[in-house]
Structure 1
């Protein structure tokens, strides 16, 4: 059985709603994968190292990722360095502006871990609509399906 670590941070609730939708999509493959769903400040290095795939969810804050996601990276990067080459990851961002700074900087750090991007980043500007929440669920289901069959 494959493991997915879903790490996210939400201050105002928008990114949390996206994370819930992504988790619902992941749950569709419950027979093939297990999900460790953690808010960023509670996620551990051990959970990261045990993951076969990683999904990161962040709000855009001041044109950057949230401080809690940055904290997760700060705590786990060196202990995981050189141990995660080729692991698939995905990123979803809830932005108040354009979200590009958050995407670029998370992708830069993911490259340092040696992760490979499995899906294009999902970017939602403002309050997620029902359509965007449905798309987030499909995005999570796609990641789960691809991981379970070895596509990523």
Structure 2
């Protein structure tokens, strides 16, 4: 056994800017200073319960849609919730939200579901609020790096 751990990123990226955020998360998670971490980055529609079962930690990413998470991320939860409920309790996760407004409803919606799954938040959600800001990109890269480095170090 290689001892490699899997970091799953489930990110809804419907626009060029949100694709940049997704790519930044993947870049950070795949940083050359971190070893022993296999990064899998998928859209919520591509992600299956098997992906979740294979993951040692999860990064969730969504847009704010009408004050809630994207329908794509909700679809992921709808399909995967019960198949992973018992086996994946305690799974470390983090969340980023691309919010045109304040992200409050989106955060609450995601946190309600992951509380039911009994996943463990390992950092505060990153909420990229308001108009597009180039500063969102390095913040998302840092989020990916932090998750990968924490997983590598066995912090979570």
Q: Same fold (TM over 0.5)?
A: yes
- TM-score, scaled relative to structure 1: 0.94
**Which residue of the partner structure matches residue 107 of structure 2?**
103
**Which residue of the partner structure matches residue 119 of structure 2?**
115
CA distance in 2, matches of 1:30, 1:151: 14
* Aligned ranges 1:1-152 → 2 under 5 Å: 1-28=4-31, 31-152=35-156
Q: Residues 87-137 of structure 1, C-alpha deviation per residue, up to 9 Å, x if partnerless? A: 100000001111111111101111111110011101112454332211211
Give the direction of change, closer, same or farther, for the CA distance of 1:35–1:47 in structure 2 (3 Å limit): same
Secondary structure, counterpart of 2:68 in structure 1: coil
CA distance in 2, matches of 1:72, 1:127: 27
RMSD value, Cα: 1.3
- TM-score, scaled relative to structure 2: 0.92
CA distance in 2, matches of 1:43, 1:90: 17
Equivalent pairs counted in the alignment come to 152
Find runs of 4+ consecutive structure 1 residues off by over 6 angstroms. Answer: none
How far is 1:63 from its partner?
A: 0.3
Give the direction of change, closer, same or farther, for the CA distance of 1:57–1:9 in structure 2 (3 Å limit): same
Residue segments in structure 1 that go unaligned for 5+ positions in a row: none
Residue segments in structure 2 that go unaligned for 5+ positions in a row: none
How far is 1:57 from its partner?
A: 0.4
How far is 1:11 from its partner?
A: 2.2
Secondary structure, counterpart of 2:69 in structure 1: coil
CA distance in 1, matches of 2:142, 2:95: 14
